[in-house]
Each structure stands twice: as structure tokens, then as C-alpha cells.
């Protein structure tokens, strides 16, 4: 199962992003594939906080528009939202220690642990920081060939 990181969600939503056409096409293909796919819950929160932030976007996405976008993704029948399970701490701790994570990279470690705990085969992301977690397979579908 493929999971999608925040940056692809933001690019797919924000038409003013240079990556919008590619990210939107990637998500559309994934949602229409009939195959299961996932979004980690922390990416949902991060998506909302980024697109509605007036210091990041002028104008920012309105709350109503952000919620409508999330509702549209949530309607995809094959979508799974990844949340912490019983085993989460064990996997998170392993990622934190192995990658020597400090500071804000703890957020990426949490996403990596959620993916690993939930059996995600690949995380689609444009964030190279996920390379710090070698047990998680990643792909940037905006530049990597399919």
C-alpha cells in the first residue's frame, strides 16, 4: 500500500504550486486505481495548518476550502487513514534512535513509524529527509519515473 506525505497533498491542492499539475495527477491516479492507499493522520493536520497559514500563502486556503478538500479525499473508497497502534512506540523509538533524530525531524520519524507499523510498502514524498529512515521505502512521484 502507498502512503502520501503532506507535501504532495499541499501541491495537489494549491493551484499556485509549480508542482500542482504533477501532484494532482499523481493523487488522481492513485485514488482512481482501485488499490488501497493511505494518508497518515499527522499529514492531515499538517496539510490543514500549511494551506490555511497566511504567512505561507497569500491568500491562504480558507478553512472551508481546506475542509472540502479533505472531505473529497476522505470519500475515496480505498483510502485508509493511518493512526497510532499498540506497536507504534516500539517502531517510533527504533526510528528515533537509528536515525539519531532531534528537533523537528521527530515529526518525520512519527510518519515513518506510522507507515512501517501499518505495513506501508512505499511513502510518496518530495521530502528527502525521509532518506534517514532506511527501512521505509520512499518515492518522489513528481520526479521519479513510474
Q: Which three cell numbers stand for residue 33?
A: 486505481
Strand order in the sheet with 2-4: 79-82, 37-40, 2-4, 122-124, 138-139
Question: Which domains are delineated in the chain?
Answer: 2-139 (3.40.50.1010)
Rounded Cα gap, residues 10 and 6, in angstroms: 6
Cα distance between residue 126 and residue 124, in whole Å: 7
Give pLDDT, residue 144: 64
The pLDDT assigned to 104 comes to 85
Please state, in angstroms and rounded to a whole number, the distance separating the CA atoms of residues 27 and 30: 5
Q: What is the pLDDT of residue 75?
A: 93
Alpha-carbon span 84 to 72, nearest angstrom? 23
d(CA 95, CA 57): 32
Q: What is the pLDDT, as a whole number, of residue 19? A: 96
In the chain, DSSP finds a helix count (H) and a strand count (E) of 6, 5
CA distances, 12 to each of 25, 96, 97 (Å): 8, 29, 33
* Residue 30: φ, ψ to 5°: -65, -45
Q: What string of pLDDT tens digits covers the 146 residues of the chain? A: 999 999 999 999 999 999 999 999 999 999 999 999 999 999 999 999 999 999 999 999 999 999 999 999 999 999 999 999 888 888 899 889 889 998 988 999 999 999 999 999 999 999 999 999 989 999 999 986 54
Amino acid at each position: 500500500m502507498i502512503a502520501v506525505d503532506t507535501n504532495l497533498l499541499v501541491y495537489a491542492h494549491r493551484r499556485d504550486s509549480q508542482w500542482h499539475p504533477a501532484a494532482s495527477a499523481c493523487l488522481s491516479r492513485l485514488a482512481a486505481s482501485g488499490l488501497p492507499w493511505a494518508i497518515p493522520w499527522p499529514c492531515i493536520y499538517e496539510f490543514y495548518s500549511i494551506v490555511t497559514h497566511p504567512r505561507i500563502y497569500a491568500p491562504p486556503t480558507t478553512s472551508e476550502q481546506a475542509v472540502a478538500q479533505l472531505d473529497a479525499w476522505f470519500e475515496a473508497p480505498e483510502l485508509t487513514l493511518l493512526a497510532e497502534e499498540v506497536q507504534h512506540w516500539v517502531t517510533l523509538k527504533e526510528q528515533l534512535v537509528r536515525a539519531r533524530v532531534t528537533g523537528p525531524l521527530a515529526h518525520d520519524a512519527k510518519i515513518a513509524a506510522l507507515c512501517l507499523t501499518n505495513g506501508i510498502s512505499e511513502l510518496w514524498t518530495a521530502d528527502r529527509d525521509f532518506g534517514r529512515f532506511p527501512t521505509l521505502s520512499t518515492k518522489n512521484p513528481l520526479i521519479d519515473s513510474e
